[in-house]
A and B are shown apart, each in its own frame.
Chain A
């Protein structure tokens, strides 16, 4: 193993040509939209790929969430009890469908998780206006599969955390300096595919619906 590594690196070092060191100064212009414009762009991009975007406020979001659960006839909702949003949800549990927790490693309940959970709600680390993307940094409270396995993914996003671009998010959140989260995921719409005749179909392997609550 080490021999292979050494052989490849030796060959590369041997071949290595001198780098001109000339960096292109062509850097994409940094955009700077106002909050309203960012929300508008984020929403338009998301809707273009069949995501639902609901405007709410810090006071009204539980009500909007309740309505969504009702309208979609969701029977159970996977949510963390310890996040900022989760605490509020659990505090007022009776207005929501039966609440489920991710309280043990996924292996312990994989089949159940895959087959019975209808929807999951998560927070988000931010949004990107340019591309219409959610930024998720799953952690102990909100595991990676929350936004992947249930057929409906509902995400809460604070408007003030919508960045102009991915570059801006990388810098504002200090990913390089503080170390990357274990898994950063950008999500732009429900799962989709155009593998058959370049015709778009939604809900392939990931969530069939992505619903965003802007607060």
Chain B
């Protein structure tokens, strides 16, 4: 039986078929035909590179060892897919609108096009991806060796076969992965080939499964009985591992570079997600449907000690079904090759865009002359990267020597790559996330992953057993597999728990503490609110002179023809004659996106920045940021309103306080004045009464004179006290108004006669009687008191030779106004404001008034609803008494 030779022939034939399919698909896509190449079905099938050889062979092995635990690897992605509307849709939209080329590009683009971050993610991805590639090589080699054992010729050499497999895969990836540069054109050839391989591996696994269930076990029911009777026939799953691996596979499904490549970069249409949301879980379900039966039958049929990872191959072989085994081999081969090719492509894109290109651009900057074609550099960098990554995988495989150490590396790689998750999810959903936060989080997570999982897992060579047992330098709480004393956990659960939680925590804390750059803020707004405004950020401004430089640069990257086409189209769009468009912000933005498809966002941004210089911010960008600012503004305006209110209240309080202080001072002054006013007459009364008591032999005349003085002073005191009492009653508002009706003329007649009765000097009073025919309804006695006060003041203080008082009444603006103007020198300007204050007296005390008269007048007028003011500039002392006319109307 020349199985080995046939196998090699079939393999080669299969590879040629793949080449043919990829080539044809590329041709069809280039010719614009083959709409089915962009169908959701192809998209869904290409997603199935998630199922690698590790899952193809290893799932059965895992089921044979620990029962149903293997389904967690499929359940995680299922959960991610069915929640596509909330997560993946956004990721794909962002990826398309920003033209990202890899997950490193996405992260760097989100955090202000930071290349440092991109390099970190790239390193993480390469570290996680290389062992994974080694694992695929191992599975191919192992499956080869199964056939080699059955082959009598014994020509098979393991080392050589691994080398040729690695080399062949590298060639395939280079040929189809780096044919075109623009990510927008997508790798139709590779994707179609992968879709074909997905069908093959599903078909192979289903064929083996059907053979096992119906061919060997004899139907579903006997199979179920056989399962329950087997050594794994009871539910026995570690809860921690169950949840950890589900979570981990969900995280890795999003973060793995190869998954990102097919899911986001190669995505043609967002609507494909809708189909993939149910079709891909269905694919996973079919992939895992027969895993347990195959494992159970394998355990039953094959001798103890045979490798359960290869049951998919060995079960058909042991039954003599060579063709089925061959089919299953091709299935495993498909899983391995598709995964390796896409991983190599994705990693090489990351390496060339984020490591090689920045270095190359830097060296070019130093040399003044620009030489070499960027396009070729990029392609060459990618080809070399693919070869280097494959070589790394190959050497890793040779160094680790294959075997069981590799089998666990799949999950280890998952845990490593999942460290990107906090930065990714935070970047998509939280605008506060910053570059510093992402860097710190990634570093913490990466460090913990290396320390707690990668190094202990690599055996005694790198980390000594004593460190694992007792911690570094005997510090028990730093034991790699029991960090901070958390013992008894499965190492995987332990690592995922610590690394991801501390990663997320560091990410949040550092994000909150650091301040994002303007570009970061713009990008944050673009990413988080991608459904509101899908425009590229960071607008440029440039001058026409730069268009030519841009053209030269674009030609170097995209190639001459596509670049000229692009510029021509732009020029036509702008309506410009000739081939060079104006470097408008819109054009530069499109150009940057076009270039970022080839060299990554960070590099494209830097290259255009070199030529154009400064970047400007467009109104849309500002609006995007303003969304955030608007909330802040609203909040701060609320704060401002509150603060203004507080200021107002404080001012009112201060005013009230000042008034209180003033009133208190007034009260003190008033008391002082009252005491003074009372004391003056008291002093003369006392003095004269003492004279009369102590002096003997006073004449009758003298006695009368002194008694008169005492009497006068007593009168003055009484008047003063009357006034004070009156004022206090008025001020307290306790006065009862005695409302009555009379004409103004009557009130004035009475006031004039009272005031002038017994006066020593003659005061001539001039009145205009017609205007006084106004009926009043008010407290007539009080009003009369005011008039008497004013008239007697004029009589006392008017210093004219022939004192004359003119009284006139008018109707001004609905108010009855009565003016009392004399022909004296009036009240000095500086005293005018004081005349209505208590005890205010103008000049020296001529007539011994207490200075309360006008104060009382003011109070009375306030009670009557009117006012009394001093009228300056009337030639003499002039007072105006106003009364509301409503009183008059009420009287009529």
- The answer to whether A and B belong to the same complex is no
Residue positions of B touching A, CB distance < 8 A: none
Residue positions of A touching B, CB distance < 8 A: none
